[in-house]
Structure 1
Amino acid sequence: RPVVLLEGFFDTQELETFSAHGLQAVVHHESQLELLESTRLKRPISVWLKVDTGMHRLGFAPGAVKGVWQRLRRCASVGDDVRLMTHFAWADDPESPMTDRQARAFEEAVQDLPGERSLANSGAILGWPRTHADWVRPGIMLYGATPFLKGAGADHGLQPAMSLRTELIAVNRCRRGETVGYGGAWVCPEDMPVGVAAAGYGDGYPRHAEAGTPVLVGGRRVTLVGRVSMDMICLDLRGHAEAQVGEEVVLWGEGLPVETVAQHAGTIGYELLCRISPRVAYMETEQ
Structure 2
Amino acid sequence: MPRSTAASIDLEALKRNYRTAADRAGSAKAMAVVKADGYGHGIAQVASALADVAPRYAVACIEEALAIRAAGLVQPVVLLQGVHARGDLADCECSNFEPVLHNEKQLEWLEQGDDMPWFWLKVNTGMNRLGFWPDDLQAVMARVEKAGAGSRLLGFVSHFACADDTSSTMTAAQTAVFETATSAWPGVMKSLGNSAAHFISGQPLFDWSRPGIMLYGGSPVVGKTGPELGLEPVMSLEAPLITTRVVRAGEAVGYGRAWVAERDTRMGMVAIGYADGYPRHAGTGTPAAIDSQRIRLIGRVSMDMLAVDLSNAPDASEGDRVELWGKTVGVDEVAACAGTISYELLTGITNRVPRIYI
TM-score range, shorter chain: over 0.9
Instruction: After superposition, give the CA deviation of every residue in 1:98-131 in whole Å (9 maximum; x if it has no partner).
Output: 1111101001001120211101001111115432
Show CA shifts across 1:8-48 (max 9, x none). 0021232222123110000100110001111222xx20111
Q: In the alignment, what sits opposite 2:77?
A: 3
Structure showing greater relative contact order (alpha-carbon pairs closer than 8 Å, 6 or more residues apart): 2
Counterpart of 1:72 (choices 135, 138, 144) is 144
Q: Cα gap change, 1:174/1:206 in structure 2, threshold over 3 Å: closer, same or farther?
A: same
Distance 2:344 2:275 in 1: 14
Taking the aligned partners of 2:151 and 2:272, their CA distance within structure 1 comes to 48
* Match 1:82 to one of 142, 147, 154: 154
Please give the alpha-carbon distance, in whole angstroms, between the structure 2 residues aligned to 1:60 and 1:134.
20
Q: Do the aligned partners of 2:233 and 2:327 also contact (CA within 8 Å) in 1?
A: yes
Counterpart CA distance in 1 for 2:93 and 2:256 is 55
Q: Is 1:267 aligned to 2:358, yes or no?
A: no
Q: 2:251 aligns with which of 178, 181, 190?
A: 178
The residue aligned with 2:112 is 38
- Is contact 1:51-1:59 (8 Å) kept? yes
Mapped contact 2:119–2:152 kept (Cα < 8 A): no
Aligned to 1:56: 128
Q: Where does structure 2 lack aligned partners over 5 or more consecutive residues? A: 1-74
1:92 paired with 2:164, answer yes
SS of the residue 2:208 aligns to: coil
For 1:92-241, what aligned pairs fall within 5 Å after superposition? Answer: 92-113=164-185, 114-241=187-314
| 8 A contact 1:145–1:153 mirrored in 2 | yes
Over 3 Å counting, the alpha-carbon distance change for 1:284 and 1:161 in structure 2 is: same
Residues 47 and 79 in structure 1, CA contact (< 8 A), matched pair in contact too = no
Contact 2:86–2:106 at 8 Å: present in 1 too? no
Task: Among all aligned residue pairs of Structure 1 and Structure 2, give the percentage whose two residues are the same amino acid.
Answer: 43
Q: How many residues align?
A: 283
Rounded Cα–Cα distance in structure 1 between residues aligned with 2:142 and 2:245: 70
Counterpart of 1:111, as a letter, is S
Q: Report if aligned partners of 2:239, 2:270 keep a CA contact under 8 Å in 1.
A: yes
Q: Contact 1:72–1:82 at 8 Å: present in 2 too?
A: no
Say whether the 8 Å CA contact 2:288–2:323 is kept in structure 1.
Answer: yes
Structure 1 portions without partners, runs of 5+: none
Q: Could you tell me the TM-score, scaled by structure 2's length? A: 0.76
- Quick one: structure 1 residues 217 and 109, their matched pair in 2 at CA, closer, same or farther if it must change by over 3 Å? same
Q: Is the 8 A contact 1:185 1:227 kept in 2?
A: yes
Identify the match of residue 319 of structure 2 among 236, 246, 256. 246
Q: CA deviation at 1:175?
A: 1.5
CA RMSD of aligned residues (A): 1.4
Tell me the secondary structure at the aligned position of residue 315 of structure 2. coil
Q: Give the Cα–Cα distance (whole angstroms) in 1 for the partners of residues 275 and 337 of structure 2.
A: 18
In the alignment, the residues of structure 2 paired with residue 8 and residue 236 of structure 1 have an alpha-carbon distance, to the nearest angstrom, of 48
State the secondary structure of the residue aligned to 1:94: coil
The SS at the match of 2:300 is coil
Q: Deviations over 1:124-166 (max 9, x none)?
A: 1111543211100001101112111112011211111111111
Q: Is the 8 A contact 1:47 1:78 kept in 2?
A: no
Deviations 1:69-114 (A, max 9, x none): 2322333467533311111111011111111111010010011202
The structure with the largest alpha-carbon Rg is 1
Which residue type is aligned with residue 240 of structure 1?
A
SS of structure 2 residue aligned to 1:163: strand
Secondary structure of 1:121's counterpart equals coil
Normalization by structure 1: what TM-score? 0.95
